[in-house]
Amino acid sequence: MHVCTTARTRIWERSPARSDVDYVGKPVPLSNMSDSNSMDPRPDYDDAIARWFLIATAVWGAVGMLVGVIIALQLAWWPANTGLSWLSFGRLRPLHTNAVIFAFAGNAIFTGVYYSTQRLCRRRMYSDTMSKIHFYGWQLIIVLAAITLPLGLTQGKEYAELIWPIDVLIAVVWLVFGANFFGTVIKRKTNHLYVALWFYMATIITITVLHVFNNLAIPSSLTQSYPIYSGLTDALVQWWYGHNAVAFFLTTPFLGLMYYFLPKAAERPVFSYRLSIIHFWSLIFLYIWAGPHHLLYSALPDWAQSVGMAFSLMLIAPSWGGMLNGLLTLRGAWDRVRTDPILKMFVVGITFYGMSTFEGPMMSIRAVNSLSHFTDWTIAHVHSGALGWVGMTTFAMMYYLVPRLWDRPLFSQKAAETHFWMATIGLLLYVVALWTAGITQGLMWRGVNPDGSLAYDFMATVVRLIPFYWIRVLGGALYLGGTLVMIWNFVKTATSTAPPLSAGSEEALA
């Protein structure tokens, strides 16, 4: 790998100062992205906080994916459960989901929000102390999760496994984050709130509501509690939460990041301002209703299941609105997509967003869900959203940010290119293998003989899936490998002795 010393045309080699200059274009009013009339010098942004969150994203990302590969191996080869209680699949799987969602995706969101909110509001974060409490508080939560989940301390609700004292801590830290964000927005030095900020706002508000109501429980000890809801009511509240954790933790914040970082990276204005308004409001309104699609064919009342299915179908429209607004922002920049790993990652990410938001509504149709539910098809869907949309968008954002935050050109473009291909191939292996596995399993479960008896014993389906699980191990390992290449590249960049990017571009600061 070589140190890049080519002409400064690549986007990640541009000066951090210059990257704050407004991009020009009609569809979104200039004033929305930052205050172009302002003659102020570049405000004193707190970039240290973004650096810290970025490091946390990369480290926890690798850890969460490693746990993913381990549990993938456990399904392909049971002895990998090791016989130790804290390494068994049932305890590690929640560790994987919590690590990738709350540690990897969470820290990625915070990195982008802290970096972009300051620039969109043209001021430093409202309070440095709050930023620090948020950073250390969140990492503490993650460490506590990594200790308690393997010990079997859990609430037993998917994505809300963490025990009640940690839930309280999450609520406090989240409110500090919210106060810091809203403080910055209210004291902003710009007139307009740019579309990215709407999505951040919706994220902060909705996650607060979901987290509080889903976790209401009566403690019996410091580590154990019982929900105030029982049975199907508990299930409904949980999937109202669970589905909207996907919506407001893995979708809306990443759309916000897309709206900020994609135009910056592509040096293109967002395709349509009007579309962004329509799809924002319809998306946040419709999403909340869709939870019952996780409970189709359960004993939940039919009306609730039908409402969930109907709203899920409607969700295609605003979801694809977001996808189109992203992809069409690249119009006129497609030649650069071929050479620029950042844009490539964005394109794959947004494309997988489109795919999983088409697939999701299809899986919400009762007839389709009767085949897909409980099978690996769900897992394929999850990871086309997670590895494709969340992962790729995060990587793209990090490649954009590292040279700016550390003020050095990216150490190796070739390594970034390698990462792109490892991640893309890993993702495809994972998703295609599990789609096949899911449909195979679904069809075998319902297979009947001419005499009306079941064609396959349950164990026959389990054995049939093992080869697909091995393919997933391979795909997951490739994806993880790509992440490690990225981390190596970032460490090399941060510690390189190359001249700072900002040297020689003083004029941009004037």
Partner 1 sequence: MSENQESFHSRVIERRAGLMAVLTTICILIGGIVEIIPMYTVGAAHIVETPPYTPLQVAGRDIYVREGCYNCHSQMVRPMRSDVLRYGGQWSRAAEYQHDRPFQLGSRRLGPDLARVGGRWSNSWHYRHMEDPRAMTPDSIMPAYAWLLRRKIRPNAVKASLRALRTAGEPYDDGTINNSAMLLEAEGQMIVDDLAGSGITTTWDTEVVALIAYLQRLGTDIGAITAAEEREAANE
Judge contact between 219 and 164, C-beta under 8 A. yes
Tell me which of partner 1, ligand HEM, none is bound by residue 68, counting a contact when its beta carbon lies within the kind-specific cut-off of 5 to 8 angstroms: ligand HEM
Minimum CB distance to ligand HEM smaller for 75 or for 197: 75
Residue 23 to residue 151: CA distance in whole angstroms? 51
Tell me which of partner 1, ligand HEM, none is bound by residue 105, counting a contact when its beta carbon lies within the kind-specific cut-off of 5 to 8 angstroms: ligand HEM
Residue 235 to residue 111: CA distance in whole angstroms? 33
Minimum CB distance to ligand HEM smaller for 145 or for 250: 250
In the three-class reduction of DSSP (H, G, I as helix; E, B as strand; rest coil), residue 131 is classed as: helix
Task: Say which residues have a Cβ less than 8 Å from residue 221's Cβ, sequence separation at least 6.
Answer: none
Shortest distance in whole angstroms from residue 30 CB to partner 1: 10
Shortest distance in whole angstroms from residue 174 CB to partner 1: 15
Query: What Rg, from alpha-carbon coordinates, does the chain have?
Result: 23
Shortest distance in whole angstroms from residue 380 CB to ligand HEM: 10
Tell me which of partner 1, ligand HEM, none is bound by residue 274, counting a contact when its beta carbon lies within the kind-specific cut-off of 5 to 8 angstroms: partner 1
Tell me which of ligand HEM, partner 1, none is bound by residue 356, counting a contact when its beta carbon lies within the kind-specific cut-off of 5 to 8 angstroms: ligand HEM
Shortest distance in whole angstroms from residue 459 CB to ligand HEM: 17
CA terminus-to-terminus distance, the chain: 36
Taking residue 503's Cβ as centre, other Cβ atoms within 10 Å add up to 9
Minimum CB distance to partner 1 smaller for 2 or for 446: 446
Minimum CB distance to partner 1 smaller for 18 or for 192: 192
Taking residue 216's Cβ as centre, other Cβ atoms within 10 Å add up to 13
Shortest distance in whole angstroms from residue 39 CB to ligand HEM: 42
Shortest distance in whole angstroms from residue 214 CB to ligand HEM: 14
Tell me which of ligand HEM, partner 1, none is bound by residue 217, counting a contact when its beta carbon lies within the kind-specific cut-off of 5 to 8 angstroms: partner 1
Tell me which of ligand HEM, partner 1, none is bound by residue 24, counting a contact when its beta carbon lies within the kind-specific cut-off of 5 to 8 angstroms: none
Residue 4 to residue 414: CA distance in whole angstroms? 9
Shortest distance in whole angstroms from residue 353 CB to ligand HEM: 6
Bridge-partner residues for 454, per DSSP? 448
Residue 362 to residue 313: CA distance in whole angstroms? 7
Minimum CB distance to partner 1 smaller for 27 or for 43: 27
Judge contact between 120 and 33, C-beta under 8 A. yes
Shortest distance in whole angstroms from residue 295 CB to partner 1: 7
Tell me which of partner 1, ligand HEM, none is bound by residue 415, counting a contact when its beta carbon lies within the kind-specific cut-off of 5 to 8 angstroms: none
Task: Return phi, psi of residue 495, to 5°.
Answer: -100, 5
CA distances from 421 to 4, 345, 397 (A): 20, 10, 17
Tell me which of partner 1, ligand HEM, none is bound by residue 304, counting a contact when its beta carbon lies within the kind-specific cut-off of 5 to 8 angstroms: partner 1
Q: What is the DSSP letter of 42?
A: P
CA distances from 260 to 7, 104, 321, 399, 502 (A): 25, 19, 16, 14, 22
Shortest distance in whole angstroms from residue 25 CB to partner 1: 12
Tell me which of partner 1, ligand HEM, none is bound by residue 342, counting a contact when its beta carbon lies within the kind-specific cut-off of 5 to 8 angstroms: none
The tokens for 465 are 């899936």
Minimum CB distance to partner 1 smaller for 35 or for 340: 35
Query: Closest Cα partner for 264 from 70, 99, 403, 96?
Result: 403
Minimum CB distance to partner 1 smaller for 75 or for 486: 75
User: For binding to ligand HEM (CB under 6 A), which residues are involved?
Assistant: 65, 68-69, 71-72, 75, 93, 96-97, 100-101, 104-105, 158, 246, 250-251, 290, 293-294, 312, 315, 319, 353, 356-357, 360-361, 363-364, 369, 372-373, 378-379, 381-383, 385-387, 389-391, 476, 479-480
Minimum CB distance to ligand HEM smaller for 16 or for 438: 438
In the three-class reduction of DSSP (H, G, I as helix; E, B as strand; rest coil), residue 448 is classed as: strand
Shortest distance in whole angstroms from residue 35 CB to ligand HEM: 33
Query: Closest Cα partner for 127 from 74, 181, 195?
Result: 181
Tell me which of ligand HEM, partner 1, none is bound by residue 222, counting a contact when its beta carbon lies within the kind-specific cut-off of 5 to 8 angstroms: none
Minimum CB distance to partner 1 smaller for 154 or for 412: 154
Give the up-direction half-sphere exposure of residue 100: CA atoms within 13 A in the CB hemisphere: 22
- Kindly report the three-state secondary structure assignment for every residue of 403-416: HHHHCCCCCCHHHH
Parallel, antiparallel, or unpaired for β 217-219 and 225-227? Answer: antiparallel
Minimum CB distance to ligand HEM smaller for 114 or for 389: 389
Query: Closest Cα partner for 390 from 57, 132, 56?
Result: 57
Shortest distance in whole angstroms from residue 205 CB to partner 1: 5
Judge contact between 261 and 54, C-beta under 8 A. no
Tell me which of ligand HEM, partner 1, none is bound by residue 232, counting a contact when its beta carbon lies within the kind-specific cut-off of 5 to 8 angstroms: partner 1
Judge contact between 266 and 339, C-beta under 8 A. no
Minimum CB distance to ligand HEM smaller for 14 or for 96: 96
Tell me which of partner 1, ligand HEM, none is bound by residue 237, counting a contact when its beta carbon lies within the kind-specific cut-off of 5 to 8 angstroms: partner 1
Minimum CB distance to partner 1 smaller for 25 or for 43: 25
Residue 498 to residue 477: CA distance in whole angstroms? 32
Shortest distance in whole angstroms from residue 417 CB to partner 1: 36
